[in-house]
Amino acid sequence: MTEEAPAPLLKLRNIRKSFGDLEVLKGIDLDVAKGEVVSIIGASGSGKSTFLRSINAIEPADKGTMDFDGQQFDFDRDSRYYPSARQLQALRARIGMVFQSYNLWPHKTVLENVIHAPMNVLGQSRAEATEVAGALLDRIGLYDKKDSSPQRLSGGQQQRVAIARALAMKPRLMLFDEVTSALDPELVHEVLMLMASLAKEGMTMLLVTHEMSFARDVSSRVLFFDRGVIGEQGAPSKVLRDPESPRLRQFLHSILHDDLSQAGAAKGLIQ
Amino acid sequence: MSGYLNDIQVYGPGFLSAAWTVLWLTLLTIVLSWVFGLAAALGQRSDLAWVRAIAAFYVWFIRGTPALIQIFIVYFGMPQLGIRLSPYTAGVLALAINSGAYVTEIIRSGLQAIPKGQTESSLALGFSQRATMRTIILPQVARIILPSITNEALSTLKNTSLLSTITVVELTLYAQTLISATFRPFDFYIAVAIIYLVLTTILTQLAAFFERRYARLY
Ligand SMILES: Nc1ncnc2c1ncn2[C@@H]1O[C@H](COP(=O)(O)OP(=O)(O)O)[C@@H](O)[C@H]1O
Ligand SMILES: [Mg+2]
């Protein structure tokens, strides 16, 4: 926000999405610069997940345009920029996504989970993919689990493998959808640490989170989702400490009670 | 006792060749029923309404009518439409169409048992729908449905006896031929039962072997 802004990595305009009569995204505009870490907060059902899922189009928007990494998409079915199935695949290969429920593949080992897409989507050789995967598993401290079934790992370990699996594709952007919400409290920290270190390395990240201390300490910007629109956004200090809208104030108040108990644990995440 | 040993010498080769017929008819039918079942199960999830309608009609029709009538329709009925099939071809086709409907339901329930997140994480990494189905979903479905698919295979194996009615010389018809010449229905039907037991036991053991192998993979 201070220096001159280069072209954003991700530029969204008027993203709209309905499920039947239910309008979930009501025209979202967003620019995300390379290296930015954007936290999305908001009440359950406000459209946060739907928004992330429209960005990598596993649930494509009904309307709106997207520029990503120099490529243009128009989600209006009639547009000539409406992406083909193949273009969507190529898009998704460059955007990593991590889910609340890990979604590792139980019929593959940890290592196989990580090398599957690099080999079969990017066409890497097994040796090449295994080398990259080995380094990633080493980084998350799970190299010795590489031949285990993911189901034998703790939730925190599974989620770190899921992050490694996404990173193995060398994504330009990472999407995280409440990735610590399913974890036991004592396992949250190890996942947040990994995400914080990614942020520090300059990974562009868009994350939905209920971890207010993480949003405050790690992100460059916080978006408050409110019933399908961005109700308020800005620097974490501004949005989280000095909210303008009553609805955001109310939201922060409602989660503060949950978060206070954990705030101490997450503090000191960033040196 | 020596009479029975003599019987085995006299009738054994005939029973063996009839058992062999049952075996390959069954294997062919099973493979074909998987093809039909997979096609229909995927058809049930198609974006195209008419594909879903065909799949639904197929399952509804087959599960709602007797297998014997289905066999008669294929073997005796089709010639009226100008399609004449050998008893063996008609038999395999009819049994596979029949079993395929049950396989459809088995695969359908297997597909439902796989969490949506499995597909989503695969799509999110850049895989196509097809590759996701082939490398992520179906391998997991295969493991889940193994016990019920084994049951269905056993049914198919036993249903081959129905083909005796359309002149396929399998175990039952072979035994009936012998019975009409010897008037020993008890002996020969027991012999048929024993051979079926051997075949079903082998099939069950084979399935158990695969189940153990899968269990180790996970
Ligand atoms: N596939 C879907 N079909 C129908 N409704 C959906 C679907 N996905 C989400 N919704 C609805 O859209 C609204 C927003 O959901 P979601 O984006 O998951 O919210 P959040 O992540 O903020 O909790 C909710 O009312 C939800 O029920
Ligand atoms: Mg959500």
Checking if the pLDDT of B188 tops 60, the result is yes
H-helix segments, B1-126:
2-43, 49-63, 67-72, 87-113, 116-124
- Taking the alpha carbons of A55, A58, A60, A61 in that order, is the dihedral positive or negative? negative
Residues, Cβ < 5 Å to ion ligand 2: A 49
Is B140 at the interface with chain A, CB within 8 A?
A: yes
Closest ligand 1 atom to the C-alpha of A178? 21
Interchain pair A169, B126: CB under 8 A: yes
Interface of A with B (CB under 8 A): 56, 58, 85, 89-90, 92-97, 99, 101-107, 116-117, 120-121, 149, 151, 162, 165-166, 169
**Residue B211 to chain A, least CA–CA distance (Å):** 13
Instruction: State residue A236's pLDDT score.
Output: 94
Interchain pair B127, A89: CB under 8 A: yes
* Helix, strand, coil % in chain B, rounded to nearest 5: 90, 0, 10
Compare all CA atoms of chain A with the CA of B120 and give the residue at the minimum distance. A58
The CATH number linked to A128 is: 3.40.50.300
Is B117 at the interface with chain A, CB within 8 A?
A: yes
List the single residue in B120, B128, B218 with the smallest CB-CB distance to A85. Answer: B128
Mutate to test the pocket of ligand 1, among A18, A24, A101 (most ligand atoms within 8 A of CB): A24
Residue A190 placed within a domain? yes
Residue A68: domain span:
10-270
Question: Among candidates A15, A69, A28, A24, which has minimal Cα distance to A46?
Answer: A24
Q: Which CB contacts under 8 angstroms, 24+ apart, belong to B7-14?
A: B7/B187, B11/B178, B11/B188, B11/B191, B14/B174, B14/B178
Checking if the pLDDT of B108 tops 90, the result is yes
CA–CA distance, A92 with B130 (Å, rounded to integer): 15
Lookup: tokens for A138:
């080493």
Burial (CB count <10 Å: 0-12, 13-18, 19+), residue B194 = exposed
Q: What confidence tier does B215 reach under pLDDT thresholds 50, 70, 90?
A: confident
- The percentage of residues in chain B with a pLDDT greater than 90, rounded to a whole number, is 89
Lookup: tokens for A11:
């530029």
Closest ligand 1 atom to the C-alpha of A225? 22
Instruction: State residue A270's pLDDT score.
Output: 43
Closest ligand 1 atom to the C-alpha of A228? 14
The CATH number linked to B12 is: 1.10.3720.10
**Residue B139 to chain A, least CA–CA distance (Å):** 7
pTM (2 d.p.):
0.89
Residue B42: domain span:
2-217
Q: In the 8-state DSSP scheme, what is residue A233?
A: E
Interchain pair B125, A151: CB under 8 A: no
Residue A2 placed within a domain? no
How many domains is chain B built from? 1
How many domains is chain A built from? 1
- Written as tens digits, the pLDDT of chain A (271 aa) is 555 667 899 999 999 999 999 999 999 999 999 999 999 999 999 999 999 999 999 999 999 999 999 899 999 999 888 999 999 999 999 999 999 999 999 999 999 999 999 999 999 999 999 999 999 999 999 999 999 999 999 999 999 999 999 999 999 999 999 999 999 999 999 999 999 999 999 999 999 999 999 999 999 999 999 999 999 999 999 999 999 999 999 999 888 765 554 544 444 444 3
Ligand 1 site: residues with CB under 6 angstroms? Answer: A 19, 22, 24, 42, 44-50
User: ipTM greater than 0.85, yes or no?
Assistant: yes
Beta bridge partners of A23: A18
Q: In the 8-state DSSP scheme, what is residue B39?
A: H
* Ligand closest to the CA atom of residue A58: 1
In B, which residues are within 8 Å of A97 by CB distance?
A: 121, 124
- Taking the alpha carbons of B63, B68, B69, B73 in that order, is the dihedral positive or negative? positive
Interchain pair B125, A149: CB under 8 A: no
Interface test mutation site (partner A, options B121, B130, B132, max chain A beta carbons within 10 A): B121
**Residue A86 to chain B, least CA–CA distance (Å):** 8
Interchain pair B121, A151: CB under 8 A: no
Residue A219 placed within a domain? yes
Distances (CA, A) of A95 to A61, A91, A206, B184, B203: 16, 7, 11, 74, 47
Instruction: State residue A4's pLDDT score.
Output: 62
Residue A175 placed within a domain? yes
Instruction: State residue A141's pLDDT score.
Output: 95
